[in-house]
């Protein structure tokens, strides 16, 4: 016996609505993976990354400019301090030269200037901080001051023609004397400074004890 199964009747409107829904769903899925949208998303992410990198670059440039300003200010302050201290030393030297003009005996002005500088340091009118940087600079570049003396000797070669050995002997002896005098002066000065520091350190507890009593 043959059984015939009839298909249920579905209205055309229902079929059309279902097809339309399936078509919209397919198009939406395709649009999710469309190259245009992916390119737009990548472009937005790239813009965000570029914006953050630009902010970091601006911050780094600002920090670099601030560091440069600080370095420039430090160098300018150092140069101003060095120039002021050199002016102090030149003033002391010129004062020594001025005093040497009115003395009845011939004493070089630079010697009087060094004595005056020593007196100012001992009395406390000048402190080490007032001339320390200039003194360190002059000592570091002391070789420059021998150039004028060397040029002067080259201009007096005719005087050395017959007295080379005598001048050489004098140079050797005076060099040794200067070395010995300088070394012993430094040793004596360091010992005096150590004794002064020890007396000052011992005087501080005695003052504190007197105040407590």
Q: Which residue has the higher pLDDT, 118 or 54?
A: 118
Query: What whole-number percentage of the chain has pLDDT above 70?
Result: 66
What is the pLDDT at residue 205?
Answer: 61
Of 60-69, 85-94, 133-142, 148-157, minimum mean pLDDT range? 60-69
Kindly report the number of other CB atoms within 10 A of residue 113's CB atom. 22
What is the pLDDT at residue 37?
Answer: 46
pLDDT value at 72 more than 90: no
What is the pLDDT at residue 6?
Answer: 47
Spatial distance between the Cα atoms of 88 and 127, rounded to a whole number of angstroms: 12
What is the full DSSP assignment across 155-182? TTHHHHSS-HHHHHHHHHHHHHHHHHHH
Residue 86: closest CA among 30, 130, 54, 125: 130
What is the pLDDT at residue 50?
Answer: 52
Query: What whole-number percentage of the chain has pLDDT above 90?
Result: 18
pTM for this prediction: 0.50
pLDDT value at 203 more than 70: yes
pLDDT digit string, tens, across residues 164-181: 888 888 889 999 999 999
Mean pLDDT value of segment 14-33: 52
pLDDT digit string, tens, across residues 87-98: 999 999 999 999
């Amino acid at each position: 016996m043959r059984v015939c199964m009839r298909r249920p009747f579905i209205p055309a409107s229902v079929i059309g609505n279902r097809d339309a829904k399936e078509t919209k769903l397919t198009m939406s899925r395709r649009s999710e993976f469309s190259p245009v949208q992916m390119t737009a998303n990548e472009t937005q992410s790239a813009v965000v990354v570029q914006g953050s990198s630009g902010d970091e670059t601006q911050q780094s440039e600002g920090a670099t400019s601030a560091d440069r300003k600080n370095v420039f200010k430090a160098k300018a302050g150092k140069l101003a301090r060095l120039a002021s201290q050199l002016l102090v030393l030149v003033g002391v030297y010129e004062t020594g030269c001025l005093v040497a003009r009115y003395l009845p005996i011939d004493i070089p002005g630079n010697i009087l200037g060094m004595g005056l500088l020593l007196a100012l340091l001992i009395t406390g009118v000048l402190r080490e901080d007032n001339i320390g940087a200039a003194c360190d600079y002059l000592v570091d570049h002391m070789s420059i001051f021998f150039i004028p003396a060397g040029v002067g000797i080259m201009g007096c070669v005719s005087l050395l023609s017959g007295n080379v050995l005598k001048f050489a002997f004098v140079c050797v002896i005076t060099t040794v004397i200067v070395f010995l005098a300088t070394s012993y002066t430094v040793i004596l000065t360091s010992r005096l400074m150590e004794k002064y520091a020890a007396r000052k350190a011992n005087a501080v507890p005695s003052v504190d004890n007197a105040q407590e009593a």
